[in-house]
A and B are shown apart, each in its own frame.
Chain A
């Protein structure tokens, strides 16, 4: 042992001058690295195709999912994501049209594992009078069960759960640790590097006063690291709803295990303005240096579209964007205990957050809202369905049935989200070099991801200073993109010369999906007066349409046949490729750019319900829509700093 230490010391003590001698001259190094090979496929290190997945799914282990009757556990959720047929909690056979490449399973950590024990009437549950009452409600089924489930959720959000139950299903309790072990080991069983990646994760369910501040967490690691910890919760005294507590947990996780983790938020639209603060945080904190550093460090990703609404943009914030009015939920907070007011919206939507990030970076030196984009289902059915014709709903109570559209997602004295407003969205595409935990996780960290509302639209988005129209003729768009520029999620390389940034953009329709209407670039910037600006540019489009003087493009048309829920690819384009140069570039202004791709109109899920169940829909139900993809942004920062 002593000798070993002596060896190590000698190694460490080699003087720096000796190292300097070891650096070879430039001449000597030439030839060490071979020239670019003839074969364009040799030594490829960038991704050929996007890997599709869901970052947000609940099983029966989640308190609300299980209380509402989800009996499928992680094993079934994984098998379903991999393309196997399973029987849903309501007894319906279901299968994905195409398997996913990866998934993060994110059960709620608060009272994790309570629901299956409630379903089974385990003594730990029914020995409590409230537990017994819920169990009997659950067993009675139907309306009684719904009432019991709602009572559980209410007690959870009001923090009035029976103490003994809280204690038995919180960190420190065996049941909690075993449930975590169940989650970790199930992911491990289904993780199949190269074919399917199963991430260990959880949802940290912070929802103070009904303001949605939820974060999902995904680990890069396997059971050896994951089982050294249990995940954090939000219910006192076992946890805290302040994101600071989550950041502390993440910090400790990495320090203790040597592992890596990221967190990402969702549904700012249900936070009543608290998701992307600029001055005060909900928890009486300030948006100060510590806040922006933590947020930037731990949250490089945002779930921009999912079942509870699309959060890219809002028509109030973006009145010049005719496509901003898409699947927004803007009635109130998560449980509609407080109605929405217009001044809250700026703290809720991704585009506005990206803009606010520029302003905060100017002020504090770090951009807290420098995130990549992703889509997820947030299904509570264990079934990651995001396709309109195969939509299994938000929870077991709204799995396919003739009456599901009549069930509001939530309704109370203040307001309502009717059932037909659920969104059959979305998935995340990742440009990762291989289908493994490490490769996909690392792509999240560098933000090389994009969101879609469900369709598997292919999207390449590169930014640089040297792209030109000859690049459009290349047979290897990605080669050119990575060589002459940077991919989505990156910072533009330092500006050379006096040109404006150029973007090489390619969009490919889903192989079984609808044609594309257009590609847009959304630019946000901070002008010299400190004002946040945005503009939407149409940069590539199908058919023989021309921009008008204001840069507006005529609509692509609509081929949807409402009688058969079908459409035709007789309009739109299979592929759209362009090089676009920012026509209003000012090198002194911070800016970001991201691409939005719109499909031609297709049926919404409600239309399939109407035809398959032969039912009437609510009069104002939206029957067709334009599904879309959102790239992660590319940022520009003036050089002077």
Chain B
């Protein structure tokens, strides 16, 4: 989690800035002394129109607009009066909505944190399987049977040594006789677990065997190999950032919560022990 520290610091910094800004730009608008007037300006009207349009796919006519404005004014009056009466307190829906808005804010900030390359590189190293291209191996195989006699194996080997067409050697079978460059998991899924690791050390271009699969014994010839690799960060940056954000979002929002909670002295009963 060490790689978290730096972004976490950014995160809290950005968070503090944003929350501070909110505190600055909305002084007393939501609370405090009741204002004498309710002003509904053009911006508010535009907002009402936009909302109407998303639902009805057309602008409101003048009657509808008047009704919208009247409704909004009514809502504003009632909300203010409800606040004065303290009706917002203890309402589970309102509280949950407020808490959710804070979560949204934290999420938005988390997804704005731009991790540095060193962090992403460390993340790739910590999760190689998710980003590495697997090694690949191509081979040909001759099936010798489930439990061939030693002389049958010998016969196959000497035919190969004598240069006979390999396709005619061994026992016919439905297994693929040649696999193109294929990842280890797919090789094992086709021939049984462990088959790939038996092929891995083999020299390219040489018939070797017998090698055991889930079906029996084989002669195999590796025809091509390609090493697996971790692509350079630049090639997969987008995918890594997405994965990193998903993995760290939870840690970040927990850290954010702890940061906020740290500003309170919290007294609560302790159960258990």
Contact = CB atoms under 8 A, between A and B. Distances in A.
Contacts of B134: 195
A8 B92 CA distance: 66
A99 B189 contact: yes
A123 B99 CA distance: 10
Contact of B185 (A41, A98, A474): A98
A512 B188 CA distance: 10
B246 to A, nearest CB: 7
A574 B100 contact: no
Interface in A475-496: 475-477
Contacts of A566: none
Nearest to B186: A101
Nearest to B146: A574
Interface string A367-403: 0000000000000000000000000000000000000
B176 A577 contact: no
A474 B174 contact: no
Contacts of A41: 178
Interface string B175-192: 111111001011011111
Given A123-B97, A189-B239, A577 B214 contact: no
Contact of B92 (A49, A126, A195, A476): A126
B192 A511 contact: yes
Interface residues of B, number: 36
Interface stretch (B17-25, B66-74, B165-173): B165-173
A407 interface: no
Interface in A458-476: 458, 460, 472-476
A512 B174 contact: no
A460 B174 contact: yes
B99 to A, nearest CB: 9
A456 B189 contact: yes
A contacts with B: majority SS: loop
A230 interface: no
A83 interface: yes
A458 B185 contact: no
Contacts of B130: 84
A121 B96 contact: yes
Contacts of A510: 214
Contacts of A577: 172, 174
A64 B54 CA distance: 30
A473 B130 CA distance: 44
Interface in A51-76: 52, 75
Contacts of B146: 574
A474 B193 CA distance: 27
A258 B173 CA distance: 43
Q: Tell which of B92, B100, B189, B239 has the most Cβ of chain A within 10 Å.
A: B189
Given A49-B190, A99-B189, A511 B129 contact: no
Given A40-B167, A41-B178, A126-B96, A83 B185 contact: yes
B7 to A, nearest CB: 21
Interface bin, chain A: 35 or more
Contact of B189 (A52, A132, A508): A52
A126 B99 CA distance: 14
A48 interface: yes
A151 B122 CA distance: 47
B93 interface: yes
Nearest to B176: A48
B242 interface: yes
Interface string A429-467: 000000000000000000000000000101010000000
A123 B96 contact: yes
Contact of B93 (A99, A126, A512, A574): A126
B215 A511 contact: yes
A122 B100 contact: yes
B179 A98 contact: no
Interface string A111-144: 0000000000111001100001000000000000
A506 interface: yes
Given A126-B92, A126-B93, A511 B214 contact: yes
B213 interface: yes
A575 interface: yes
Q: Tell which of A75, A84, A512 has the most Cβ of chain B within 10 Å.
A: A512
Q: Tell which of B146, B183, B186 has the most Cβ of chain A within 10 Å.
A: B186
A475 B174 contact: no
Interface in B178-237: 178-180, 183, 185-186, 188-193, 213-216
Nearest to A194: B183
Contacts of A473: 172
B191 A511 contact: yes
A476 B173 CA distance: 9
A403 B193 CA distance: 32
Contacts of B179: 48-49
A9 to B, nearest CB: 37
Contacts of A195: 134, 183
Given A98-B189, A126-B93, A575 B174 contact: yes
A189 B146 CA distance: 42
Contacts of B214: 510-512
Contacts of B180: 48
Contacts of B172: 472-475, 477, 577
A123 B174 contact: no
A471 B51 CA distance: 71
A84 B92 CA distance: 40
B190 A511 contact: yes
A127 B173 CA distance: 65
A458 to B, nearest CB: 6
Interface in B79-135: 92-93, 96-97, 100, 129-130, 134
A543 to B, nearest CB: 14
Interface in A551-587: 574-575, 577
Contacts of A456: 189
B213 A511 contact: yes
A287 B231 CA distance: 56
A474 B171 CA distance: 10
Q: Tell which of A49, A189, A506, A509 has the most Cβ of chain B within 10 Å.
A: A49
A508 B175 contact: yes
A121 B97 CA distance: 10
A514 to B, nearest CB: 12
A503 to B, nearest CB: 15
Contacts of B215: 508-509, 511, 574
A189 B236 CA distance: 12
B168 A508 contact: no
Given A40-B167, A123-B100, A508 B193 contact: no
Contacts of A84: 129-130
Interface of A: 40-41, 48-49, 52, 75, 83-84, 98-99, 101, 121-123, 126-127, 132, 189, 195, 456, 458, 460, 472-477, 506-512, 574-575, 577
Given A83-B185, A456-B189, A477-B174, 18 more contacts: A48-B178, A48-B179, A49-B186, A75-B246, A84-B129, A122-B96, A123-B93, A126-B96, A127-B93, A195-B183, A472-B172, A475-B177, A477-B172, A508-B173, A511-B191, A511-B215, A577-B172, A577-B174
Rank and list the top 4 A-B pairs by shortest CB-CB distance, nearest first. Answer: A511-B214, A511-B192, A123-B97, A508-B174
8 contacts: A40-B167, A49-B176, A49-B179, A83-B185, A99-B189, A123-B96, A458-B174, A477-B172
